[in-house]
Every structure is written in structure tokens, then in C-alpha cells.
Structure 1
Amino acid sequence: MRTKLRGIVALGVVVGISCGLPVAAAADTPDTTDTEAVKGVVLRPGDRGEAVRLLQRRLHAGRYYYGRIHGVYDEQTKLAVWALQKSRRMMPQGEIGPQVWKALDRPFRWRPLVPEGGPDRVEINLREQLLTVYRDRRPVLFSHISSGAEVRYCKDGRCGNAITPVGNFRVSRRAPGWTTGRLGSMFNSLYFTGGIAMHGSTRVPLRPASHGCVRLPIETSKRLYEIVKIGEPVYVRGGFDWSRDRAAGGTRDRDRR
């Protein structure tokens, strides 16, 4: 592996988202040997190769990526990169370079939204559009999300407000696989208040776009469904920072369902 990566660098090849207090490091201190070899490599969605495979392995070790380690910078990889970038206070974008490689190597200490929360819980940060799962007070899964679009909507003669409620909740119902309702399709749904759930979606844009549910990448939702059970606390805090969306070129209504 190390030989292949040296070859990449030597040749100059650019492998090119319907509804605090510190805690222990999210992962063990990483082995920086391989990422040191690609610290100058820039990767973009669509790229393929050993550097992408390394990126996926490192994202998986950091609890951001749950897809296949196949060396293709696909949509699931991009969404995992966004989760990493947001957790480290970077502007989320698909292209990665030295800053992301460095973040993957740096020991990470996380500040919880609810320091006094239960040892096993889900935290949803609406401002950062980031979901974190804790086990024994340690973060074990990070995910980019897309929550309620905060607009008025009407569908089939019925209207409502696309808002993800803030507060303390518990998972009350689980629905495995794909289910389709009036507002669209949901995968591996974990309901935490009324008809609002955390669920996998094929559309998880870089901004709130749902009718109130919390959308996650499909592959991440599979892992979330495995580890989060009925009765688990779900803490929802914050509000979306629209200035950050505008800086990234977003609009309030794009991609709404």
C-alpha cells in the first residue's frame, strides 16, 4: 500500500441528501504513515484509486463513513467528508486537500451538545446539520444530515410547516427498510416525535430540505438503525445558520420534497 501511494505522489498525479465539555477522543490516535504520503493529493467527487481507498478507510475509522471501501469517490464518500469537515468546523465541500488529510491525522476531542445527557444517546445539531451517536459517553458515529426546511408546504390539499422540533425526545418506533408515505420515501426510519424520524434518504443536500424529518446518507442510516433502539434519548438543539448556506451557494427552496 505504502509503495503504491509513494508512486502516486512521485508521478504528480492528482487523483481527481422526507421528511460543553470535552470528552475522550472519537477514535484512537491514527497511524499517520500512509496519510503523510498523500498529504499533497487533492481529491474530488468522481476520482478513483488508492488515495480514495485510503480516504474511505480513514473516514470509516473516524466513524464518518459506512459504505464500501472500493476506491471510488462517490456520493456516500462525499457526504462522509462533509460530516468530517463540519465536525472540525471547516466549510463543507467535496474537494479535499491538505487540511482534510491533516484533520484525519489529528487526535479529536469532541464537545457534546448535552454534556449531562445519557451515556447512550443521539444528538442532533440543527445549526451545524450534524448528528452524533454516543455509546458510554463516547461519540461512535457522526453524520451529515438535512433537517426541516423551515418553510410552509402544501401537499395533496394538506399543509404544514417543515420544521424539525427542538427538545428532548426518545425513539418511539422503528420501521426497517423502505416505507413510502404522503411526503415521500424513507429508509430505516427511527421515529422520535410523532411522525418525525431519523431516516436514510437518497437526497441529503448541504442544507435543510426535508418536511421535518432528519435525513441521513443511506449507508450511514444502516449503521444508525443497527445501534439505536427503542427508548434511546434523542436531543435536538440549535437552529440552522443560513449565512453559511448562502456562503456555500445554497438557497432555501432548492431540493425540497
Structure 2
Amino acid sequence: MKKIITEESDNLTRLNKFISHNSNYSRREADKLIEDGRVTINNKPVTDMSIKVSEKDTVRIGKKLIKEDKNKMYTVIIYNKPKGELVTKKDPEGRRVIFDSLDKKFKHFIPVGRLDYASEGLVLLTDSVDVANKLMHSNLERIYKLKVNGFITPNVEEAMLHGLTLEDARAGGHEKSKITSMTFEPFIAYQIISNDRKYSKIKVGLSEGKNRELRRFFGHFGLDILDLKRFEFGGISLNNLPTGKSRYLTKDEYKDLRLFLNSDE
């Protein structure tokens, strides 16, 4: 009989994440299934929310096998998220989520990273856990356009150029967030489009996607982000995709994606 794996390694995935990525259940629903004792690993019931599994483990919900088909072809789509939608499958507060707008055939797709409720722009989604993980944990450039309520000062530019470590990074974070400190890598690039004491516009390129990273970064300098839009991820761009609409990757975008996935990066 296989041993239930609990020690962490590069090939382990948290159980609720594994279930949500390979079924129609959200992570919250997966947590409830685990809590209720309906999930087994290698035929043993589990109720530990922190447990992790590998591709060698057998995961079931009741009698239903939950397994990733690694031989299937993957699909990636782009969605132009409007403000006022959450990047999740379901919201316990009943707020609108991206899957309320997306075609039902994409209901099992996995979002690559997040954009918060008040932000808009490019969200990649895929039916492959492996592709989603590689993109989420990559250093591919994410490009945003921002509008803030004040000057982009030399201190802000210095931090964008050289990075920043904050013991208190709560400004700009969600009030319920447990994240209090954060390290910001130097921005890949930035362009100040306009700079004024009332509001300024700036275009920035990042190599990571931490929790409300830009809102926390500029919040440290007393700047609230009034508008935030992501329009490019790893060379894949919104182009003229209307807000609230989705599209498949083009042949050239798939070609570039395959080159990235097959690289040693």
C-alpha cells in the first residue's frame, strides 16, 4: 500500500489545490470535502488541510478518482477582466467572479495568478495544472498601466530601480490579509506617462506577481492606485480584446509558450 506523503518537496501539491485544479470544485469546496472526511489518499481518509500529494498518490472524493491526464493537449485562453469581478471559481459573499462571464466550457480552467476586485485586464487561464504552475512561478514580464493620486517622486523611482523591503507592507493590502511584510524586486522597466500632484500615470513591468504587490508598493509612499490594468504577460497581450471577452492564444503565441515550457528556465 502506498504511503501518504506529508513531507514537502518540489513535486508535491497541496491537496485542496490538487483537487480544485483537477475537478470542478473550488479550493474552499475542496477544504470542506477534506474536513468532512470525504477525501482519501491511497485509500486512507484524510482531514488534514495542510497535507500535500504527489503524482504517485491516488486521490479520491468518495469513489471518484481525481487525477490529472498528463497526456492531454493543453489549452490557454486570455480573458480581459473588468473591474468588479474576482479571479476565483466561487465567492462566499456572492460577489461576481470571472467564471460568471466566461463560457461554461471554461469552468474547469485554472487562472494563472490573480487580479484583485478593483483591477482589470489580462488574465490567462488554462486546463493544464503544469502549465498554470510554470507560468505562475515564472519570471516572465507582467506589464501594467497605473493611475495614482499624486507625484511619482525620486524616492519612488529609486525604489522601482533598486527594489524595496518593507517590514510593514500593510498599506495598499486587503484589510483581512495576513501578509504584513514584503520584499519588492527591482522593476524590469517603467515609464512615467504623466506626473502631477493631482494624479500621475505610469507604465511598469514586473517579473513577479505577489499579493496586491503594486498597491502595497505605491501605498508605502502614500499613493493610492486609482486604476490598475494588466495588458501583457510574457509577451502575450490583450491587443484589441474587448473588456469582458476572451480569446484563444494565436498560433504564434502557442509557439512562444511551447518554447518557454520546453526551456530550462
State the TM bucket, normalised to the shorter chain: under 0.3
Looking at CA atoms only, which structure, 1 or 2, has the larger radius of gyration? 2
TM-score norm. by structure 2 comes to 0.27
TM-score norm. by structure 1 comes to 0.27
